[in-house]
C-alpha cells in the first residue's frame, strides 16, 4: 500500500504544525463521511490564517464554533421552523445542495487562537492568529569577542 507523506509541504506552514498527524488520521477514516463540508485553509500573513468552510443553506444560528485548547470544532445543524412544518412538503426533482448536520474538527498549533468569524455568501470564514508569548520568541544573543577579553585581562 502506498502512503502519501505531506511533511515536505507542511514544513513551511507555521500555524498548523499538527496537520501531518491530522492528515494521517483522516486518511484512515472513511473519506465520504469526512468530506462534508468542503473547506480551505489559507495563510494570510506571517501569523494569520483563515479556515473557510462551504456551508450553503446554513444560517448563523445553525452554526457553532468552539475553540478548546488546541482544537477548533465547527458544527452545523439546520433547525426546522414552525412555519416550515406547516408548509406543504416539497418534492425534489434533484437535491444537490447538502444541508445535513456536520461536525468538523481541526487541530491547531500552540498559541493559535480564533479572532473572529464571518458568514458571507454561503462561506464561513474563521480567522486565526498565532501569538507567540514574548518568553518563547527567538532572541538575539550577544557574542563576547575581543572587547570582552580586554575587560577580563588584568
Residue 54 and residue 40: Cα distance in Å, rounded?
9
At 41 the pLDDT is 94
Give the position of cell 445535513: 100
In 3D space, the residue among 74, 68, 49, 71 whose CA is nearest the CA of residue 124 turns out to be 74
In terms of pTM, does the model score above 0.85? no
Grid coordinates in use for 91? Answer: 418534492
Residue 102 CA, chain-centre distance (Å), reads 15
pLDDT in tens, 24-71: 554 444 444 568 899 999 999 988 999 999 999 899 999 999 999 889
Residue range 7-131 in CATH 3.90.1150.10: no
Q: Coil, strand, or helix at residue 137?
A: coil
Show me where the domains of the chain are located: 7-131
- Which pLDDT does position 12 carry in this prediction? 45
> Which of 136, 121, 108 is closest to 50 using CA atoms?
108
Peptide bond preceding 140 in cis form (omega within 30 of 0)? no
Nearest to residue 101, comparing CAs of 64, 50, 126, 72?
64
Amino acid at each position: 500500500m502506498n502512503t502519501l507523506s505531506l511533511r515536505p509541504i507542511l514544513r513551511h506552514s507555521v500555524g498548523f504544525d499538527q496537520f501531518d498527524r491530522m492528515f494521517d488520521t483522516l486518511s484512515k477514516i472513511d473519506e465520504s463521511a469526512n468530506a462534508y463540508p468542503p473547506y480551505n485553509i489559507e495563510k494570510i500573513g506571517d501569523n494569520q490564517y483563515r479556515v473557510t468552510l462551504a456551508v450553503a443553506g446554513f444560517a448563523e444560528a445553525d452554526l457553532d464554533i468552539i475553540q478548546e485548547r488546541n482544537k477548533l470544532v465547527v458544527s452545523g445543524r439546520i433547525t426546522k421552523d414552525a412555519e416550515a412544518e406547516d408548509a406543504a412538503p416539497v418534492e425534489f426533482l434533484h437535491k444537490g445542495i447538502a444541508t445535513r448536520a456536520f461536525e468538523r474538527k481541526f487541530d491547531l498549533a500552540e498559541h493559535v487562537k480564533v479572532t473572529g468569524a464571518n458568514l458571507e455568501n454561503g462561506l464561513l470564514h474563521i480567522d486565526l492568529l498565532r501569538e507567540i508569548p514574548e518568553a518563547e520568541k527567538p532572541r538575539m544573543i550577544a557574542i563576547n569577542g575581543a572587547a570582552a577579553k580586554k575587560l577580563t585581562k588584568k
